[in-house]
Amino acid sequence: MSHLGKFKHYVIAGASAVGGALVSYYIFHSENKKHAYASWTTNFTPSEKWDTNWDRMEPQSLVKPSSGTVDDNRFNEEVQKVKPKATRHILLIRHGQYNLDGTRDSERTLTELGKQQAVRTGERLKELALPYTKLVRSTMTRATQTAQYIEQALEKELPVNDCCMLQEGAPIPPEPPVGHWKPEFHQFYQDGARIEAAFRKYFHRAPASQKEDSYEILVCHANVIRYFVCRALQFPPEAWLRIGLKHASITWVSVLPSGRVTLHALGDTGHLPPKLISSM
């Protein structure tokens, strides 16, 4: 074959290769372009699927299953009766700075800084002007005192409940582990069961009988709040220690009627001037 013939052969072969690549590129992108606007149609498999019945209040799970087509009307009617209609808003407040030198809980009272923080947080909650339904406080001194300052700042009659399940503790061994914080392993079993029970008590969708949205204030502790957030969002609970929370910060979680959960704020301290922000 002459040099000219070889050149023509290579040009044709090259053009075929390029053309084939262009055709493949066009087909690939044309096929994928169909799904560009609907992520749920891309056959993507999530690493973790949302448990719709995480609070055991999914309406379909609360009524007797349908036994067939004839029984469908009864089933659907009963599902509608137990279907939530309101949203539950839970505002988690970490207590203010306290006396770390106290050996007993009664000695671990708020410092002057902690008192100022609690007052500012109460003022912020008042500014939000939400229709608060109740205030629940941990029975530990620093949380009780913080709640008292918040209650005074709100300047309204509000049901106040004490809850020992909201006390500080070690919810679950953290991952990754840390060297500077090593409670006895049996403490995780004791505290973990209590804190998990508190989560189940306060985090769930509204009952069908609740007509209006509710706004509950829970004044408690950093470890408890961090664990609650991980559990509510169905994140690995062992990740709780990766979250940092400042004193008197506001964390806002909403449980929708559908059972979905929204985190509006995590450890918000925007209401505190820099000189009042602390974590230890």
Pairing state between β 261-268 and 250-255: antiparallel
pLDDT digits (tens, 9 = 90+) for 64-121: 888 877 778 888 889 999 999 999 999 999 999 999 999 999 999 999 999 999 999 9
Ramachandran assignment for 267, one of left (phi > 0), alpha (psi -120 to 50 degrees), beta (any other): left
- At residue 183, the pLDDT reads 74
Q: What is the structure's pLDDT at 41? A: 62
Give the whole-angstrom CA distance, residue 262 versus residue 155.
28
3-state secondary structure 74-92: HHHHHHHHHCCCCCEEEEE
pLDDT at 176: 93
| pLDDT score of 230 | 98
Domain 88-276: give its CATH architecture.
3-Layer(aba) Sandwich (3.40)
Predicted local confidence at residue 71, as pLDDT: 77
Ranges under pLDDT 70 in the chain: 1-42
pLDDT of residue 231: 98
pLDDT for 5: 52
pLDDT value of residue 42: 67
User: pLDDT value at position 215?
Assistant: 98
pLDDT for residue 153: 96
Measured distance CA(211)–CA(207) in Å, rounded: 9
Strands laid side by side in the 160-163 sheet: 160-163, 134-138, 214-220, 88-94, 250-255, 261-268
Tell me which H or E stretch contains 136: strand 134-138
Looking at residue 40, its pLDDT comes to 58
The domain ranges of the chain are 51-83, 88-276
Residue-level pLDDT at 8: 45
Per 3-state DSSP, the chain is made up of helix, strand and coil in percentages (nearest 5) of: 45, 15, 40
